[in-house]
Amino acid sequence: MTRYAVRPATAADSAAIDTQLSRQADRLEALDRRVRMPRSAAPGGLVAVDAGAIAGHLRPLLVEITAGDELLSFSFPSTVHWQEVVTADPVALAALAAASRVHGAADAVLWPAVAGPAFGEVGLEPSFVFALRPPGPLPCKTPVAVRRAWPADTESLVALHEAEVAFHEPHTPYIRRVPGLEPAYRARLQRAWAGADPVEGASVIHVAEIGGRVVAMCESMLQASPAGSAASRLPAGRYGFLNSVSVAAAHRGAGIGRAVVAAAIANLALYGVDGYTLWLATGNPLARRVWPALGFRALWTRFERRP
C-alpha cells in the first residue's frame, strides 16, 4: 500500500491539481447535468504526494459558529469543510483527511448525490441532502384554505417551526433545537411583517387553515446562484428555497403539506425562478418520502464526521 506524504500545495502544483479537478468535474457533471464541480483550486490546501506525483488534493476550510446562532441546530460548532477534494485513491484521501483534521472539530464535505455512497472509508456518513425541483407548478390535490401569513399568526408559526425541528430529534443526531432558533425565526417574521422585499432576501410565509386554526406553514425565500461562482452548488440562476415546512402532527399525511408547498411554489414562480431547492436530513423518515413525491431530486449529499 502506498504511503503518501501530505504537504501544503504550492503554486507549482496548481496545473496538476486543476487537471485532476477538471477531469473529475467532466465525469461527475456528465452523470448529473445539474451539478457544478470546481475546475480549479483556490490557493492553499494540501496535496498527497507519491514519489513527487500528486495523487490528491483537498483544501480544508475551518468554519466556526458562534454560540446563540440558529445554525447550531444542524451544524457542529467547529467544522472543517473539505473543498476541492480530488483523488482516485482512498489511501490518499485518508492521508489528506488525517492531515486536515482539527482537534474537537467535525469534518464535512458536499458531494454529488449521483456519485452514491462515498467517504465512508474515512469515517464520514451522509447527514443531509440538498434537493432540487425543476420549475413548474405543483398541482394541489386537497381542498384546504391556504393564504399568506400575517402578524396575528406569529405564535402559531413559531410553534410550527419549533415542531419541525423537534420532529427530527429522535431520528437524527444532526438536528436539534437550540436557543438561537426561535429569535432568528421571529426576526425573519418581523422582517416579513414590515413588508421587506423577497428580492432582498425576505422570507415569505404561507399557512394552511382548518376551522380557522393555522395547522401548517411553509417559509420560502429567493436565492441567487451567481454565474461563475466557485461556491455555487447549482447552475447559474435564481432559485426558490424552502427553508421550513411544517404540518401539525395531527394533520400530516392528508395533503396539507403538498397544498402549502404548492402555494409557496406558485408565489416563487412570480419572480421567475429556475427551480426550487431545500435541505433534508437523511435521517428524517417523512422527508425522504414526501419530497420525491413533490418532485424534488437529490443533488448534493453532505457527508460528515462529528467528534
Residues making contact with ligand COA (CB under 6 A):
141, 164, 167, 245-247, 252-258, 280, 284, 286-287, 289-290, 293
Q: In 3-state terms, what secondary structure has residue 286?
A: coil
CB of 22 to ligand COA, least distance (A): 34
Neighbours of 55 (CB within 10 A): 24
CB of 71 to ligand COA, least distance (A): 16
CB of 99 to ligand COA, least distance (A): 35
Amino acid at 193: W
Amino acid at 272: G
Closer CB to ligand COA, 84 or 219, in the complex: 219
Amino acid at 252: R
Neighbours of 8 (CB within 10 A): 10
CB of 107 to ligand COA, least distance (A): 24
List, in sequence order, every residue forming a beta bridge with 208; answer none if it has no partner: 146, 216
Look up residue 41 and give its DSSP letter: P
Residue nearest to ligand COA (CB): 257
Q: What residue has cell string 490528491?
A: 56
CB of 252 to ligand COA, least distance (A): 3
Neighbours of 79 (CB within 10 A): 20
Closer CB to ligand COA, 52 or 139, in the complex: 139
Closer CB to ligand COA, 114 or 144, in the complex: 144
> With the CA atoms of 162, 218, 208 and 267 taken in that order, what torsion angle do they form, in degrees rounded to the nearest 10?
160
Closer CB to ligand COA, 39 or 252, in the complex: 252
Closer CB to ligand COA, 107 or 164, in the complex: 164
Closer CB to ligand COA, 195 or 211, in the complex: 211
Compute the 3-state secondary structure of the chain and give helix, strand, coil in percent, each to the nearest 5: 35, 30, 35
Q: How many distinct helices (H) and strands (E) make up the chain? A: 6, 12
Amino acid at 245: V
CB of 255 to ligand COA, least distance (A): 5
